[in-house]
A and B are shown apart, each in its own frame.
Chain A
């Protein structure tokens, strides 16, 4: 069975500071890994995805994530936070089956202080 754990339900950073959102996964098969962002009262927008190519994945809005198989982690980072980054972030895993169901973590709310 697959699962995702996001460490920290709430993260607060200052504008311009490093953003680090943690995600650990469990999967018995090679995983596909995703980070989604959700702004208030909206659906989910894909930030980036790992699908067994390069382990360092670059996404939209300056975000990137590194797949570390030995640590079963897929942490999301951004060098410099912007006020517009304040949102809920979800890490998700699916198996390599095309179009397979996504298993989401509980989410991390990111606050950015001016």
Chain B
């Protein structure tokens, strides 16, 4: 049983560019959440998707947007990249029924130069 997978593993971009990160949830899971983990800090919630709609959103600007596909996979898009967007981006999945536990992927390391 495959767990949560994310791609790419690493990414280097320059300021002002746009980036798309991808996530496939654990089999049987229909809810996907995205977190940003800056160096030396705990993860911060960006948003959560269920039934292809954003259910909850953290305190992140509109430059951060997402999408969920019918197969439950998800994308995180960040526009107009800033140096401060450099971080590890984590995807987590859970089942909407009994979904108190979130399973995390290995993350995508984004570096903005």
Select one of A44, A99, A104 contacting B100, CB under 8 A: A99
Interface size in chain A (residues, C-beta < 8 A)? 24
- Asked if B94 and A99 sit within 8 Å, CB to CB, the answer is yes
Within 8 A of B (CB), among A65-114: 90, 92, 94, 98-107
- Asked if A99 and B103 sit within 8 Å, CB to CB, the answer is no
Interface size in chain B (residues, C-beta < 8 A)? 31
- Asked if B44 and A104 sit within 8 Å, CB to CB, the answer is yes
- Asked if B42 and A90 sit within 8 Å, CB to CB, the answer is yes
Q: Which of A46, A51, A99, A105 has the largest count of B CB atoms less than 10 A from its CB?
A: A99
Chain B residues within CB distance 8 Å of chain A:
4, 31, 33, 35, 40-45, 48, 50, 55-56, 58, 90, 92, 94-107
Task: Tell whether A102 pairs with B107 under 8 Å between CB atoms, given A32-B100, A46-B101, A49-B100.
Answer: no
Q: Which residues of B contact A28 (CB under 8 A)?
A: none
Select one of A34, A42, A100, A106 contacting B106, CB under 8 A: A42
- Asked if B99 and A104 sit within 8 Å, CB to CB, the answer is no
* CA A90 to CA B42, docked complex, whole Å: 7
Residue of A nearest to B57 (CB): A101
